[in-house]
Structures are given as structure tokens and as C-alpha cells.
Amino acid sequence: MATPNTPWFNASRLKTRQLLLLLHLHEQRSVLRAAEAASMTQPAASKLLAEMEDMLGVKLFERHARGVEPTWYGQVLIRRARAAMSEIGRAQEEIAALRSGRMGQASIGTVVNPGTNLVPQAIAEVKREFPDILVRVEMDYSRPLVSKLLDGQLDIVIGRILGPEGAGELEFEPLADEPHAVIARAGHPLSSRAGLQHADLLRYGWILPPADSVLRARLDSMFTEHGLHTPTNAIETSSLPVTQNLLRGSDLLTALPADSVAPLIQAKLLTVLPIELGVRMESFGIIRRRDYSLPPGAERILQALRSTARRLYPELRP
């Protein structure tokens, strides 16, 4: 194998077939199954893997009786390979869009609150000027969205950077913080309760975010700080439409930024309960990959996000 401290690496020597095999090995955890997925024989797959390891001077996978597992070196290359293959796919889509007369496309990821006001307004602004831009929008929590951004599946994320993973590869423009309130249907028994306490909230079922989300951890901590347990009568979902419909048809409670359901509050379908929940999230903002040139459609969306944010969030105005 080449020694890692010599100028052994030449990116042009890596072949697309090798990168695809690398991704199949990561998914299948078996040389035989990865070879089948890549439409090659097992000996050919083993040879390609050996060529990559010799070229890089490190082991990419550990072989076990039960299959293969990526080493730390392998995990680094897998993440980069996934992003590279995603970029190739996106390039093909952009070329096809331009050939068909469209300006291009943009893939946006957003957390709930900006996904209900900032992102739709920015997209509407762009579509008025460039109706042929194809915009894809995905709503989720920050961690999975940032992971997809790093993998090249998204151009822009409106969310938070919550950990060190990939932080050095990202640029963050803060927009606003996101205080959470207890939301219920209009006319809920607790909506007119004077002196509402946190313990009163456990008398009713809750719609909670998934257990692995940061918001869920904050809610669990909030209940613990008040000497309470996390609600056992609970429904877990990350879907805002599902949450809204569950609230409207029941006495369930949830924690959301009031802005994210403002139209339903104004229509007197939902209400904010009179209690200070004490749960806040870090400021959300625009997240992009550092040193990555956005395609034209995504660049126009970015401009619209910034101008729309200045209208929605007064603290951003000069």
C-alpha cells in the first residue's frame, strides 16, 4: 500500500464504479451482495476494493465472518463518495432541466417554524419571477436535514447546527430564535384555567416529537425539572399536518412555536395555553456547505430567503 504521508493520492484515479461499489458495500455489509447490487462478480468487486485500499494506503473495510464493516477511513470516504455521486446525479438533473427550458432547480430542507412562513413566502417570490424553477422542499428536524446537506442531497437547510459533525464544512447565517408554547384546540378545558401549572398538562395526552430529536430532549428535561415524568399517553410524530389535525379533533396538547400554527390560531381553531413552557431552541438560520457554489436556481432561492427573512424578523433589519 502507498504510505499516507506521501503525495500518493490522485483523485482522477478514483473511478465512478469504485465509488458506487463503496456505497453498496456500506449498505449491504457484504462483498457478495454489494457485487450483485453493482452488477459485477464477487472477484471483480474484491479487486476494485483492493485497488482503492492500495491507492489510498489504508484499509477501508474490516472483513469479518459475518461480512464487512467500514473503518474510520472508510467512513470518511463513504461520506465523500455519497456527496460526489449525489452531485453527479444533480448535474444530470440540472442539464435535463436546462435542455427542457427550465432555469434549474433547488432542494431545500427546513425545520417546522420557517417551513410554515419563511420558506413558502421565499419560494412564492421566486416562482413569480421564474415559474420554471423546480423547487423541492423537505421538512424535518435539523440533524437529518444537515446530514442530507453534507451528503449533497440538499442545497440549503433552514435549521440549526446542533453538533460538531460537519460544522467546519458548513456556513450558518442566524435568523431567529424559536420559543415554544403549549398548543391545544380552541375551547380546550385548560385554555381558560387560571394559574395553570405544568402538572396540569399531564392530565391530557401529548403529541411529542420523536425520541431522538433535540426538542424531545428539551421537553423531557422540562418535565423533569418540574418533578414530573414525560407524558405516557403520547403520540410521536414529526409531521405538522398530522399534529394540527390531531389537535383540532381532540384534547391532546403539543409544544410548537406559535408562529408555526398562526393561521389556525387566527382562525380560532387552535389556541396557546396560558403557561410559560420554558422550552427554547437555538436560533435557526440558513445553512450551506462551505466552498460550494449553488446552482442558479438555488442561488435565487437563497436571495429570496434572505430578503423574506428581513421582512419577517425585524431584528435582522439594519
Domain boundaries, the chain: 11-80, 102-177+282-316, 181-278
Q: How many CB atoms lie within 10 A of CB 27?
A: 12
pLDDT of residue 92: 78
pLDDT of residue 207: 96
Rg of the chain over all Cα atoms, to the nearest angstrom: 24
pLDDT in tens, 88-147: 877 777 777 666 546 678 999 999 889 988 999 999 999 998 888 889 999 988 888 998
State how far the Cα of 178 lies from the Cα of 118, in Å rounded to an integer: 13
Dihedral angle computed from the Cα positions of residues 220, 225, 227 and 229, in that order, rounded to the nearest 10 degrees: 0
State how far the Cα of 315 lies from the Cα of 49, in Å rounded to an integer: 53
State how far the Cα of 139 lies from the Cα of 159, in Å rounded to an integer: 10
State how far the Cα of 132 lies from the Cα of 57, in Å rounded to an integer: 47
Over the range 5-24, which residues count as b (16 or more CB within 10 Å of their CB) and which as e?
eeeeeeeeebeeebbbbbbb
Give the domain 11-80 fold: Arc Repressor Mutant, subunit A (1.10.10)
* H/E element, 6: none
pLDDT of residue 6: 46
DSSP label at 273?
Answer: -
Task: Specify the CATH class of 181-278 in words.
Answer: alpha beta
Average pLDDT score over residue span 250-267: 91
Q: Does domain 102-177+282-316 have CATH number 3.40.718.10?
A: no
Confidence of residue 314 (pLDDT cuts 50, 70, 90): confident
- Asked if 258 and 265 touch (Cβ cutoff 8 Å), the reply is yes
Average pLDDT score over residue span 268-275: 94
User: Collapsing DSSP states into helix, strand and coil, what is residue 122?
Assistant: helix
Q: Are domains 102-177+282-316 and 181-278 of this chain identical in fold?
A: yes
State how far the Cα of 63 lies from the Cα of 31, in Å rounded to an integer: 9
For cell 457485487, name the residue: 35
The set of cell numbers assigned to 132 is 420554471
